[in-house]
Amino acid sequence: MEFEAKLHEIKRPIMVLGTSSGAGKSLTVTAICRILKNSGEEPIPFKGQNMSNNAWVDWEGGEMAYSQALQAFACGINPSSEMNPILLKPQGNSISEVIHLGKSIGITTAKSYYQDWFIPGWEVIKKSLSSIYKKSPNCRLIVEGAGSPVEMNLIHRDLTNLKVAKYLNANCILVTDIERGGVFAQIIGTLTLMKPEEKKLIKGIIINRFRGDLSLFEEGKKWIERKTKVPVIGIIPWLNDTFPPEDSLDLLEKKSHFSNPEIKVGIIKLPSISNFSDFDPLENEESILIEWIRESKNLSNYDLIILPGSKQTIRDQIFLENTGLSQDIREYSENKGNIIGICGGLQMLGTTLEDPYFKEGSNESSEKRINGIGLLPLKTTFFEKKLTRQINSESSWPCHSKINGFEIHNGQTEIENMQSSLQINPIFKDSCLGWYKENKRGGTIAGTYIHGIFENDCWREQYINLIRKSKKLPILSGKSISYKKKRELIIENLANEFAKNLNLTSFLN
């Protein structure tokens, strides 16, 4: 109650709502965060509830959506799970893991979630808001909605759109994606379905992803403003810079755009893929072409195969076996292929996976123990609780360098036996973080639990150099642009483009 009494004293938050999922809310919030930071304000991102398997671990070991971590980077501050107090991580079959303030607290079906988790969810959202303002009383919250704010079958249990907007009395922006078509119907329909007190909160409309001559939309802009009595405050052009997709379905449209790649990388598109932002640093290497592999095929054309993280490792390993991809990967390894697995990908490269508590996709009608791909002599056992922590370590392969990243996984992996320990070597000073072995015919097989491993510039460059040497290409020698500097440049460019086409003056009262 103490926080509610002071709500009228805070800087009025800006909230970005969308006419649909994928309208551009996340990037709009990212851009506004950087614009306000550059203007001397103290922006902090917030999304009450997010559904994503693309996660980040904060410095207290709390899980949060990567999109809110990226927005925190845009604000120039450390990410914190308070910025995303509810994270739902889908596990398939309408089942999700529920995470409150960074900690896993249960599993729920979609139906049970709306029945059982609404009240505790709202309490954790209010607790997070109170904590943020207690620590940063002069901040301006930049709030992101989720999906559409007017899903009429769910609106009475919607935690993260209009309920938050009304609670904070936020100045709301409605974003719509003109690339999808039907932009006028999207806007009019969304506003029509709002209650009068909700519609009053909408202070501006953004038309996102506009291609061509902006002047051609002038009549459309006037029509929208005349019909809605809400100003169109921005028409944002199509932007080419790549950002990580929040939903793994967006990976289907994610393609490398460099014209003369020297190295071809194939990433296995697992049904339960997670933490796919791990590969953004590779997307930004001009010498690399990335392709996503969804079905069995000859892999010999690839210079590197990556097995990404998985939210359901057992289920995804069964998928690899049933589709023939496991055998494809084994055959690739025998032909001088380079393979790296990250987190769940590391676990699948091992020989044995045991799931005694049904945590990773097995169930009572299936085996609790299955075989992995069998390329590394490692056994993984999944326990009831998972490990989440930031990592500061040192690598010994392919180079000596400091390593930063984070762990977020269920399961403990160990070398099968003493004889097996002679076949593989630890990658890091902390030996349980990853292993590698060299194939007799050339190429390497490696696996690590560290998410964000490719963000370490020296490590990434030297790993790429192993592949370049095998192809007799000139080695990279400190020529790679620092990924974190590149990310900063992308955020800055994004903010500059938005600033040129967006009028926020009326929102900063």
What mean pLDDT do residues 416-428 have?
Answer: 83
60-64: Cβ within 8 A, 24+ apart = 60/102, 61/102, 61/388, 61/389, 61/390, 62/101, 62/102, 62/103, 62/388, 63/87, 63/99, 63/102, 63/103, 63/104, 63/388, 63/408, 64/102
Whole-number pLDDT of residue 248: 46
Alpha carbons 458 and 362: distance in angstroms, whole number? 38
Task: Assess whether pLDDT exceeds 70 at residue 385.
Answer: yes
Alpha carbons 343 and 449: distance in angstroms, whole number? 4
Query: Half-sphere exposure (CA, 13 Å, Cβ side) for 324?
Result: 5
Catalytic: 451? yes
Alpha carbons 162 and 165: distance in angstroms, whole number? 5
Number of H helices, E strands in the chain: 16, 27
Whole-number pLDDT of residue 252: 44
Whole-number pLDDT of residue 366: 62
Query: Half-sphere exposure (CA, 13 Å, Cβ side) for 262?
Result: 15
266-316 pLDDT, tens digit each: 999 999 999 999 999 998 888 899 999 999 999 999 999 999 999 999 999
pLDDT band at 260 (very low <50, low <70, confident <90, very high): confident
Task: Assess whether pLDDT exceeds 80 at residue 367.
Answer: no
Among 75, 100, 409, 451, the active-site one is 451
Domains detected in the chain: 2-238 (3.40.50.300), 248-482 (3.40.50.880)
Q: What is the DSSP letter of 346?
A: H
The more confidently predicted of residues 445 and 416 is 445
The more confidently predicted of residues 317 and 420 is 317
The more confidently predicted of residues 496 and 439 is 496
Give me the residue label for tokens 């992803």: 209
45-71 pLDDT, tens digit each: 999 999 999 999 999 999 999 999 999
Closest by CA position to 361, among listed 382, 332, 386, 389: 382
The more confidently predicted of residues 475 and 419 is 475
Whole-number pLDDT of residue 251: 47
pLDDT band at 6 (very low <50, low <70, confident <90, very high): confident
What mean pLDDT do residues 173-189 have?
Answer: 95
Catalytic: 172? no
Task: Assess whether pLDDT exceeds 80 at residue 151.
Answer: yes
At residue 42, the 3 state secondary structure works out as coil
Bridge partners for 438 per DSSP: 444
Cis, peptide link before residue 398, omega less than 30° from 0: yes
Whole-number pLDDT of residue 115: 85
What mean pLDDT do residues 3-21 have?
Answer: 89
Among 33, 172, 343, 409, the active-site one is 343
Give one DSSP letter per residue of 232-272, joined into a string.
EEEEEEP-------SSGGGGGG-----SS-SEEEEEE--TT
* Whole-number Cα distances in Å, 96 to 158, 241, 355: 17, 31, 18
The more confidently predicted of residues 52 and 6 is 52
Lowest mean pLDDT among 226-235, 262-271, 350-359: 350-359
